[in-house]
């Protein structure tokens, strides 16, 4: 069984922001694989069971704010007895151009507060990340926080939309073909 977690912030205010790209990918996966989310107060979020190919999966969206995602993720791993090595986390990444995705396994948080929280609460960095590029704000125009909590710029919105689809496909590929093959396939795309 795999735990697939899309990161974002709860509430209508943040619904279509760049920081919620993990939620967008989770919603796409739920739609493609007929997973229905239910609210769980104990897990502090929304989760649903399903299958991707032959693999049982738990798809989740924590309702804790991004910087506190670790608690809900740790709870779900413990509740379902899933090792961290079977955790896939989908999140935004300012260091990647809009629309690009990168799959990585382990390593540091690279400054992403949601990933920092998960590493701290789970006790290991050894899980898979699907990083979805959102780019950086134009120099001198806005802060990083203001940028990630805003919507995609008009010239990036189509790239971001395609990235949601590509990220969803990368998760399915990881589950059916393994992480290494998915990395080889998706990390080389231009």
Q: In whole angstroms, what is the distance from residue 119 CA to residue 132 CA?
A: 19
Mean pLDDT taken over the chain? 91
Q: In the annotation, is 91 catalytic?
A: no
Q: In whole angstroms, what is the distance from residue 3 CA to residue 168 CA?
A: 14
Q: Is the pLDDT score of 139 beyond 90?
A: no
Q: Is the pLDDT score of 183 beyond 80?
A: yes
What are the φ/ψ torsions at residue 180 (nearest 5 degrees)?
A: -60, -45
C-alpha distances in angstroms, 168 versus 21, 68, 96, 122?
A: 11, 24, 17, 24
Q: In whole angstroms, what is the distance from residue 63 CA to residue 156 CA?
A: 27
Q: Residues annotated in the binding site for tRNA, as ranges?
A: 14, 65, 67
Q: In whole angstroms, what is the distance from residue 88 CA to residue 171 CA?
A: 8
The string of pLDDT tens digits covering residues 143-172 is 787 777 778 777 778 888 899 999 999 999
C-alpha distances in angstroms, 167 versus 12, 16, 143, 148?
A: 23, 17, 26, 18
CB neighbour list of residue 93: distance below 8 Å, 6 or more residues apart: 102, 110, 112, 131, 132, 133, 134
The string of pLDDT tens digits covering residues 91-123 is 999 899 998 999 999 998 888 999 999 999 999
C-alpha distances in angstroms, 41 versus 62, 63, 184?
A: 10, 9, 38
Strands 45-52 and 55-62 turn out to be antiparallel
First-to-final CA distance of the chain? 31
Element at 73 (helix H, strand E): helix 70-80
Q: What share of the chain is helix, strand, coil (3-state, %, to 5)?
A: 40, 20, 35
Conformation bin of residue 4: beta by default, left when phi > 0, alpha when psi is -120 to 50: beta
Mean pLDDT is lowest, of 2-6, 64-68, 122-126, for 64-68
Among the options 5, 10, 19, 76, which is catalytic? 19
In order of their start, the domains of the chain are 2-186 (3.40.50.1470)
């Amino acid at each position: 069984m795999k735990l697939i977690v899309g990161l974002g912030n709860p509430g209508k205010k943040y619904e279509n922001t760049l920081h919620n790209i993990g939620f967008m990918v989770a919603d796409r996966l739920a739609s493609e694989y007929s997973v229905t989310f239910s609210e769980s107060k104990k897990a502090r979020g929304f989760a649903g069971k399903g299958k991707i190919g032959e693999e049982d999966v738990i798809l989740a969206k924590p309702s804790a704010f991004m910087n506190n995602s670790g608690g809900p993720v740790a709870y779900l791993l413990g509740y379902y007895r899933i090792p961290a090595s079977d955790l896939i986390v989908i999140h935004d990444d300012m260091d990647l151009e809009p629309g690009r995705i990168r799959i990585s396994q382990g390593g540091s948080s690279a400054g992403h507060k949601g990933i920092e929280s998960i590493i701290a609460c789970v006790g290991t960095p050894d899980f898979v990340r699907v990083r979805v590029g959102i780019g950086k704000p134009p120099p001198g125009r806005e802060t990083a926080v203001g940028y990630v909590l805003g919507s995609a710029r008009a010239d990036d919105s189509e790239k971001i939309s395609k990235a949601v689809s590509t990220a969803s496909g990368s998760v399915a590929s990881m589950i059916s073909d393994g992480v290494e093959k998915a990395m080889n396939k998706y990390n080389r795309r231009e």
